[in-house]
Chains A and B, each alone.
Chain A
Amino acid sequence: MKVNMVTSRERILKAVKANQPNFVSFADINIPQSTEDLPNKFALALRNVGGNFVELDHLQEVENYINENFKQGGRVLSSIPELLKFNGLDVIDTDPHSLANVELAVLRADIAVAENGACWLPEVNTLQRVLPFIAQHLILLVSIKAFVPTMHQAYEIIGRDAYGYGVFIAGPSKTADIEQSLVLGAHGPRSMTVCLVNEWAT
């Protein structure tokens, strides 16, 4: 038996090697991008994909913003230590199913991409991987240093970061599968707000 045991791995690799064309290299492109007015460009792109954009001066104003814009009494979790009232650090090691009743997640995004309204969250910013998806609403806080023009610059910053998980999020969860009618809140958050916190030394 053993003599003829060629694994699929060997078979596939052998076939690929035999059939792949001659080696060709390629040159990476470098497209110069304007870095002007990035927060406004970002806000426009985000609104176009159904997200909200607000500017606050201090972290202290975040709590007021939440009180004014979200229903009271719901479960709110945040990964930002300064937001004491919503501290969610103790959910990091719990069963992710226990997050099913989260009304609002308030998380930090490291990068905000002006061309498409996408925000980058590495795993450490999420408390739990499922949190930015399972929460009914999502707020992402960014500092002024987070803005980049395009995805190319975003990946330059991400570099070789050894995250276990990371996600770009652009707007609320959505679908247009029924006759191309856009509906917000497919499986994930029904709303997504990016808060630029002007005086935030992160």
Chain B
Amino acid sequence: MKDHSELSAIFNADEQRVNWHDETLWWIRQKRDKAVKTLPEWELLRENASQIKQHTLSNLSAYLEQFEAKALANGVKVHWAANAAEHNEIVLSILKRNGINRMVKSKSMLTEECHLNTFLENNGIEVIDSDLGERIVQLAKEPPSHIVLPCIHKKKEEIGELFHEHLGTPVGEADPQVLTEAARQDLRNVFLTRRAALTGVNFAVAETGEMVICTNEGNADMGAHLADVHIASMGIEKLVPQRRHLGVFLRLLARSATGQPITTYSSHLRTPRSGQQMHIILVDNGRSQQLGRESFRNSLKCIRCGACMNTCPVYRKSGGHSYQYTISGPIGSILAPNLDMKKHADLPFASTLCGSCTNVCPVKIDIHNQLYQWRQELVSAGYVDAKKKWGMKAMSFLFAHPSLFSWAGKVGRRLMTAAPYLFNNKLNPWYNQREMPSAAKQSFREWYKQRAKNES
């Protein structure tokens, strides 16, 4: 299996495309900044949101029980899934019990995490994703590359080709307006003919047993309000204590995600509509374990806005698919190793630790600190490439011996000047996509000593 840096190298082969990807995401980051600056109370909101989540996590078992009791009283069926496989089995059994073999689905990163679509398709159930971006990557047989903008890596011409093949749009048609209209017509028919709809959940309120779903397209509501059976899948960390706390989170979410003041639709579902079945599946899948990891439990505060990805210099220049986990970018790199340390050991190293992610996080997760912490854990658990490990050991030996350090520096500077070809070649990974700097004539220490001499 290729690791993050190898996949990034492939992504980086097309320089123009990387620049386009980079600039598009940075533009979204700038929209976020503009939206944030209109609120003088922004920092207060972040701090409050972080504290509400901290409190919720500290009392999560009680809130889960309260939520369940309220939801049951509201006429909702509540299911518990310890892991992805159990979640998928629950969805399948609900569909089978109702004799349903076609389902429409709105955006749910949790179902991506559980690989629900593949599981259902293997069991003879057709699933159609209704979020436009998700529909596009579904047609392309790819996973989403971004949690908020699933097809941010695709050019409109590529989408035009997919739509020509699957929706019958004219050859070469790449106008976003025309393509969106084609998807609207096609998916409207899907909404009107599917008896089951699955949605994600953005927030769930312990006090009332209701859930809140945020979309711009209206696809979650189109699916849920037309279907006989509505299934909502949610991670157990999605709870907030009371309804009024939604005010804090809804003010933060869309501004952080896309720079909008709020998503077009913020739907609050408390009871099924008359004659409808409503199911909520509470999914653990590693979350209770992450809650027990003191260094990483803060990651469970995440509200999935994607701001950390949009700002991340590594994400912007490597693309979401290089992370090989449903949730890419900085936050995904903290969540993924919790599920499989060995498989995702590369991700905490896919960062410059610049801290920009931490600065934009609306719930104040100390993302870059946690990435740094993961590195320590992964190295001591032996999941890191031996080259990296020995390299680090050699560096630490060097730094611990000042005279050796000074000698090595001197030799290095001489060699770089006398024999640049020793550095400017393919064996040196730093030379890829970079010009090596010319060597300084003297080290800082030499310069400092000389300066002291000259002044005395």
Binding site for A on B (CB under 8 A): 24, 27-28, 41, 44-45, 48, 51-52, 54-55, 57-61, 64-65, 74, 80-82, 86, 130-133, 136, 149-152, 154-156, 159, 176-177, 179-181, 184, 187-188, 191-192, 208, 216-219, 221-222, 224-226, 236, 243-244, 246-248, 250-251, 258, 260-274, 282, 284, 288-289, 291-292, 294, 297
Q: Does A79 contact B (CB under 8 A)?
A: no
Q: What is the CA–CA distance of A152 and B86 in the complex, to the nearest angstrom?
A: 38
Contact A183 B218 (CB under 8 A): no
Q: Are A96 and B226 in contact (CB under 8 A)?
A: yes
Q: Known: A12-B80, A151-B250, A165-B269. Is A133-B261 also a contact (CB below 8 A)?
A: no
Q: Are B58's CB and A23's CB within 8 A? A: yes
The 7 closest A-B pairs by CB, nearest first: A188-B218, A19-B292, A116-B261, A130-B225, A177-B133, A186-B217, A15-B288
Contact A24–B58 (Cβ < 8 Å): yes
B residues near A96, Cβ cutoff 8 Å:
225-226
Residue of A nearest to B177 (CB): A183
Choose the segment among A59-67, A70-78, A154-162 that binds chain B (4+ C-beta atoms closer than 8 Å): A154-162
Give 16 new A-B contacts, CB below 8 A, not counting A166-B267, A177-B151, A186-B216: A8-B82, A8-B86, A16-B291, A17-B61, A26-B48, A26-B52, A29-B248, A151-B246, A152-B244, A165-B268, A165-B271, A170-B262, A177-B136, A180-B24, A183-B177, A188-B265
Q: Are B271 and A150 in contact (CB under 8 A)?
A: no
Alpha-carbon distance between A170 and B208 when the two chains are bound, in angstroms: 24
Chain A, interface size: which category? 35 or more
Q: Does A38 contact B (CB under 8 A)?
A: no
Which one of A116, A167, A173, A179 contacts B216 once the chains associate, using CB atoms below 8 Å?
A: A173
Chain B residues with CB below 8 A from A166, complex form:
267-268, 270
A201 is an interface residue with CB less than 8 A from chain B: no
Assuming the contacts A129-B225, A151-B251, asked whether A187 and B273 have C-beta atoms less than 8 A apart, the reply is: no
CA distance A8 to B82 in the complex (A): 6
Interface positions of A (Cβ within 8 A of B): 7-9, 11-13, 15-29, 31, 45, 48-49, 93, 96-97, 100, 113, 115-118, 128-130, 132-134, 150-152, 154-156, 158, 160, 162-181, 183, 185-189
Q: Establish whether residues A130 and B82, one from each chain, have CB atoms under 8 Å apart when the complex forms.
A: no
What are the residues of chain A within 8 A of B55 when measuring CB–CB? Answer: 24-26
Contacts of B265 in A (CB 8 A): 133, 167-170, 173, 188
Would A175 and B132 be within 8 Å (CB), given that A12-B80, A19-B289 are in contact?
yes
Contact status A20-B60, CB under 8 Å: yes
Q: How far is the CB of A95 from chain B (nearest CB, A)?
A: 9
- Is the CB–CB distance between A187 and B80 below 8 Å? no
In the complex, the answer to whether A178 meets B266 with C-beta atoms within 8 Å is no
- Ordered by A's residue number, 7 sampled pairs between the chains whose C-beta atoms are within 8 Å are A16-B291, A28-B244, A151-B250, A166-B270, A173-B265, A174-B216, A178-B179
Q: Which of A12, A117, A128, A167 has the most CB of B within 10 A?
A: A12
Distance A187 CA – B186 CA, assembled complex (angstroms): 10
